Every structure is written in structure tokens, then in C-alpha cells.
């Protein structure tokens, strides 16, 4: 198995007085990661989807809860959002047992963080595990082989099980299974979606419009529900690590688009599965969209794992000048343009003159690893 960058961060923060809340989509490797830690420290692991575990965690009595704690004082609650009052129970354990290290995982930031963050205010640290990153693949197999895997990542994504599968048919089957059993069923179950067909149609529209500005009014008309319902479903999709959004960047120029969003997918294999398109890159009309999504996603992974809290935006003017990605960090602006094949791109003059000192970089297939600098 590929070593996950996040495991080092978790190892470094163990037994430092904070409960760890680890989120991320299902099948990204959270369980494998925490079991590695449990094995290393002889800890206790509880799968909270199992009824017997739910029964053990029914009580809020410290006497009952303390019986779950091993001698090593490291305890993992996997898919902890399935436990009633999990935040309260984690707080009791955290406050009453000295030296205890708790790790709680969840596949929905809404469920786990909403239930646990408030009771654990000041007592927890939050982590997110993405599908495999390019840096993790490079660390595993080297830069030459990793570069040869990019096409596969654009088509089949970076879920560990999919990445480790050789057969194309098996990759597609695995992605279809993840989509049907986790993406749809889990999301619908946890969030009590009233109109599942509308939800699926909205997701399909987003998959077809990757990297395009999204109009809530237009989406509302296309799926025939209120704008408020569209906003709710988009929020659910983000909190379940299916999509993420970029806001438009605007400060000084009257012609800048100031109130708009673009949506991208946390995994391109899932995106392609939704629209059932696994064609090779030479046959695709959406190669540019896939490349843009891939590059922005890899940049997000890099920033997250290096603990750089950068603000990410896109930029466009009403006369169609645009920049794919803007990073704001430490008062400085770094901009990126993503082109699958092109070797040249222009830095919009109006942007460079208005935001002096900002940098510009074109990312194509030749220099894609510059995203990890």
C-alpha cells in the first residue's frame, strides 16, 4: 500500500492533548490509515457501523466508556458519526481520562464535525484525507513512473483501490460500485434527501460543467426545484467530499465577475463514472476540463498536506479575460493557467497591472510537478 502523507502529520501530533477528527470520502483509505496507527501503538479500534459497537457506546457513563480504553490509551472510532451523541461521548473520554489519544473518523464533514466539533471546542484538531495525491505516487514509485500514470488519473481517478487495480474493466466496476453504494446511497441516507432523482440530475449537470461558472437560477430551472433546494444539495455534496467550489476573485476592477462559483470534483474517476465516460484522452472533448480539475485538485492536496492555509479563487472579467486559479497567501497573489496541450498562455495585462507583484505560471503536461512546489 502507498504510504499516506497524512500519516506523518497524525504521528507527529499523537498524545499531545488533542482529539483527532479525520474526515474524507469513503474509500479514500481512512480505515487503513488508522489501523496502521492502532497496530503501531497497540491501540483499540472500533467500527461504529457495527451494532455491537453501537451498543457498547450507548451509555454516557464514564465507567462504561472507560472500559473501551486499552492500556496504550490510544482509541479509534471509525465512522464515528453513526453513534448517537458522539460529540458528548468523545468529550467525556477526553476530559476524564488523562493521556488518552482519541481518533474519530467520518465520511461526512457535516455529520462528524457538526456532531463533534462543538462539544470538543478547543480539544480537537481536524484532518482531511484526499484520494491519492501525485506526491504520494511519486514517493511510492518515482517521478518517471508517476508521470506515466497521469492519464489514468485523469480518467479513472485516484481512489486507492482503483489505482491499485490493473484491469480497466475492474477499475470501471470499482468506480461504479463506489458511486452507487457510497456516493448516492450514503449521501441520501445521511442527509435525508427528499428528491433523489433531482439530486442525481444535479450531480450529472455539475459533472458535465466542470470548470464552468454555475448559475443557481439556471440549475434551479434545469432540475425544476427552488434555488434554496439547489443550494442545500450543493452544500451536501461539498460536505460529503464529492465536489468543491472556487469563488470568484474581485477587488478593484469594475469589470470583474464578483459573485460566481465554479465546481470541481474531489475525484475524476467519480466524475467520469457519473456521466459514464471512460474514453481515452485522445477521444475526449473534455480533456481541458479534466486537466483543469486535476491540477486544481492536486494543488489543494499539496496545500492541505503542507498545512498552508491558502485562499483559492478563479478570476474572470465580463469581457472574457480569465485566470483558472488564484492563490492568496501572506498578502501575495500567485496565479495559474492550466492547459492540457498548449505551451503558451498570456497573463492578463489588466490583472498584472492592477495586482502588481502577482506571479503567473502555465501548467501543462511538461511541468505538472511544479504544482508541488
pLDDT value, residue 199: 83
The alpha carbon of residue 262 and the mean position of all alpha carbons in its chain are separated, in whole angstroms, by 15
pLDDT value, residue 191: 60
Q: Mean pLDDT check: name the lowest of 108-122, 293-307, 334-348.
A: 108-122
111 pLDDT above the threshold of 70: no
Q: For 249-278, what is each residue's pLDDT tens digit? A: 988 676 767 678 999 999 999 999 999 999
Nearest to 127 by CA among 140, 141, 112: 112
As a whole number of angstroms, the distance between CA 66 and CA 61 comes to 8
Global pTM exceeds 0.85: yes
Work out the mean pLDDT of the chain and round it to a whole number. Answer: 91
Helix (H) or strand (E) holding 103: strand 101-106
Which domains does the chain show, CATH number per domain?
Answer: 5-128 (3.40.50.300), 134-372 (no CATH)
pLDDT value, residue 23: 92
Average pLDDT over residues 306-314: 94
Question: Pick the residue with more confidence: 192 or 17?
Answer: 17
Question: Pick the residue with more confidence: 211 or 113?
Answer: 211
What dihedral do alpha carbons 254, 260, 266, 270 form, nearest 10°? -130
- What is the pLDDT confidence band of residue 75, given thresholds at 50, 70 and 90? very high
- What is the pLDDT confidence band of residue 187, given thresholds at 50, 70 and 90? confident
Nearest to 136 by CA among 39, 32, 227, 47: 32
190 pLDDT above the threshold of 90: no
| Highest mean pLDDT out of 149-158, 216-225, 226-235 | 149-158
- Phi and psi at 125, nearest 5°, equal -125, 140
12 pLDDT above the threshold of 90: yes
pLDDT value, residue 81: 86
Strand-pairing partners, residue 71, are none
Percent share of the chain, pLDDT over 90: 75
Average pLDDT over residues 12-22: 95
Average pLDDT over residues 203-215: 93
Percent share of the chain, pLDDT over 70: 95
Question: Pick the residue with more confidence: 181 or 332?
Answer: 332
- What is the pLDDT confidence band of residue 296, given thresholds at 50, 70 and 90? very high
Q: Please report where in the chains the cell 458519526 appears, as a residue.
A: 81
Amino acid at each position: 500500500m502507498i504510504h499516506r502523507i497524512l500519516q506523518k502529520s497524525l504521528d507527529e501530533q499523537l498524545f499531545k492533548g488533542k482529539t483527532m477528527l479525520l474526515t474524507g470520502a469513503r474509500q479514500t483509505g481512512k480505515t487503513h490509515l488508522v489501523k496502521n496507527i492502532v497496530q503501531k501503538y497497540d491501540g483499540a479500534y472500533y467500527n461504529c457501523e457495527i451494532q455491537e459497537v453501537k451498543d457498547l457506546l450507548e451509555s454516557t457513563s464514564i465507567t462504561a466508556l472507560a472500559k473501551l480504553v486499552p492500556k496504550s490509551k490510544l482509541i479509534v472510532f471509525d465512522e464515528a458519526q453513526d453513534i448517537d451523541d458522539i460529540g458528548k461521548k468523545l468529550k467525556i473520554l477526553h476530559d476524564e481520562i488523562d493521556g488518552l489519544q482519541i481518533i474519530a473518523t467520518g465520511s461526512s464533514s457535516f455529520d462528524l464535525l457538526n456532531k463533534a466539533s462543538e462539544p470538543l471546542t478547543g480539544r480537537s484538531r481536524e484532518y482531511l484525507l484526499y484520494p491519492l495525491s501525485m506526491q504520494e505516487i511519486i514517493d511510492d514509485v518515482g517521478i518517471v513512473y508517476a508521470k506515466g500514470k497521469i492519464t489514468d488519473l485523469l480518467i479513472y481517478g485516484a481512489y486507492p483501490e482503483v489505482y491499485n487495480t490493473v484491469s480497466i474493466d475492474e477499475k470501471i466496476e470499482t468506480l461504479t460500485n463506489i458511486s452507487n453504494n457510497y456516493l448516492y446511497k450514503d449521501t441520501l441516507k445521511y442527509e435525508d434527501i427528499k428528491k433523489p432523482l433531482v439530486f442525481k440530475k444535479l450531480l450529472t449537470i455539475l459533472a458535465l460543467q466542470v470548470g464552468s461558472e454555475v448559475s443557481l437560477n439556471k440549475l434551479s430551472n434545469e432540475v425544476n426545484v427552488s434555488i434554496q433546494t439547489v443550494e442545500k444539495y450543493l452544500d451536501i455534496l461539498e460536505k460529503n467530499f464529492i465536489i468543491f467550489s472556487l469563488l470568484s476573485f474581485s477587488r478593484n476592477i469594475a469589470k470583474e465577475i464578483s459573485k460566481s462559483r465554479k465546481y470541481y470534483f474531489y475525484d475524476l474517476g467519480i466524475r467520469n463514472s457519473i456521466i459514464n465516460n471512460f474514453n481515452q484522452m485522445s477521444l475526449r472533448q473534455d480533456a481541458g476540463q479534466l486537466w483543469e480539475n486535476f491540477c486544481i485538485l492536486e494543488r489543494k492536496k499539496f496545500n492541505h498536506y503542507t498545512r498552508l492555509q491558502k485562499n483559492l479563487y478563479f478570476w474572470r472579467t465580463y469581457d472574457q479575460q480569465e485566470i483558472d486559479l488564484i492563490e492568496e497567501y501572506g498578502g501575495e497573489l500567485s496565479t495559474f493557467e492550466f492547459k492540457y496541450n498548449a505551451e503558451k498562455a498570456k497573463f492578463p495585462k489588466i490583472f498584472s497591472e492592477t495586482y502588481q507583484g502577482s506571479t503567473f505560471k502555465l501548467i501543462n503536461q511538461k511541468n505538472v510537478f511544479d504544482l508541488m512546489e
